[in-house]
Structure 1
Amino acid sequence: MTFQLTARLVVLVCAILFVIFLFAPQAYSPLYGVETNQSAQFMTRRAAPMFLAPVIVLWAASSAAHSKLREAVALGFAVMFAGVAMTGVLAWMQGTAAPMILLAAAGEVLIAALLLGTRKN
C-alpha cells in the first residue's frame, strides 16, 4: 500500500476518533466494557486533540515525496498506534476491558504495520 493511501486511511480513522472523543466521549468507553463516568469523559474529551494532530500531519505529508522526514512521520505514528494497541491488550489481560478491545488493538497493529510498510516506498 502506498504512503499516500495509508496516510489518508489513518487520517480518516483519526478524524472519526477526534469527533467521537470530543462530542460523544460517553459513547467510547462502553464499547470496550469499561464503565464511563464524568472523569473518564473529561479525559476522553481532553485526548481528542491528540487525534487531530495525526490528521493534520498525515494529510500534509500524504502527497510528499519520499524522504527521511516522511519516513520519520510514518515511524512515529506507527509507534503511537502500536503503543495504543499494547495498552488495549494489557487492559484486556488485566480484566479492565472486554474482549472487544482486542479488535481495536488488531486494527491499531494493522495501521502500525501499514505505516511501517510504507517507509521504504
Structure 2
Amino acid sequence: MTFQQTATLFALLCATLFGCLLLYPNLIYLIFALDPHPLGDFLARRAAMLFAGIAVISYFARTATPSPTRTAICLGIATAMFGLAATGLFEFLRGYVGLGIWLAILTEITFGILFLRHR
C-alpha cells in the first residue's frame, strides 16, 4: 500500500470516527460494552474534534514526498496508534471493556505498521 493510499484511508477512518463520536457518542458504549455516562459523552465529543484534525492532516499530507515532515507525521501517527492499541489491550485484560475493543486494537496495530513502513 502506498503512502497516499494509507493516508487517504486513515483520513477516511478519522473522518468517520469524527462524525460518529460527535453525532452519536453512545456508539462508544455499544462497541466497547461500557455503561453510558454523561462524562463519556463529553469525552467522546472532545475526541471527535481530535479525529477531525487528524483527518485533515492525514488527507492533506497524503501527497507528501519522503521528507522530514512526512517522517514526523508517520512516526506521530504510528506512536498514537500503538499507544491506543496498548491501552485498549490493557483495559481488555483488566476486564473494563468488552470484545469490541479488538476491532479498535487490530485497526490501530494495522495503521501503526502501515505508517511505520512509510517513515
TM surpasses 0.5: yes
Tell me how far apart the structure 2 counterparts of residues 64 and 46 of structure 1 sit (CA, whole Å).
Answer: 28
2:106 aligned residue? 106
Give the Cα separation in 2 of the matches to 1:90 and 1:26: 22
**Deviation for aligned residue 1:36:** 1.3
TM-score (norm 2): 0.95
Question: Deviations 1:4-26 (Å, cap 9, x if unpaired)?
Answer: 00000100110000001111001
Distance in structure 2 (CA, Å) of the matches to 1:59 and 1:31? 26
1:40 equivalent in structure 2: 40
- Distance across 1 between alignment mates of 2:41 and 2:113: 30
Partner of 2:68: 68
Cα distance in 1 for partners of 2:9, 2:58 equals 10
Separation in 2 of the partners of 1:90 and 1:60?
33
List alignment gaps of at least 5 residues for structure 1. none
CA displacement at 1:103 relative to structure 2: 2.4
Aligned-residue offset at 1:117: 0.8
Give the CA deviation at 1:108: 0.6
Q: Within 2, Cα distance between the matches of 1:69 and 1:39?
A: 36
CA distance in structure 2 between the partners assigned to 1:87 and 1:44 by the alignment: 16
Distance 2:42 2:103 in 1: 24
1:95 aligns with 2:95: yes
One-letter code aligned to 1:71: T
Cα deviation, residue 51, structure 1: 0.5
- Note the alpha carbon deviations across 1:56-106, whole angstroms, 9 max, x for none: 111111011111110110110111111111111111011000122122101
User: What secondary structure does 2:26 align onto?
Assistant: helix
TM-score (norm 1): 0.94
Structure 1's consecutive aligned runs of 4 or more residues displaced over 3 angstroms after TM superposition are none
- RMSD, aligned CA: 0.9
Question: In 1, distance between residues paired with 2:103 and 2:47?
Answer: 21
The one-letter code matched in structure 2 to 1:106 is L
Q: Deviations over 1:1-49 (max 9, x none)?
A: 1110000010011000000111100122221111111111111111111
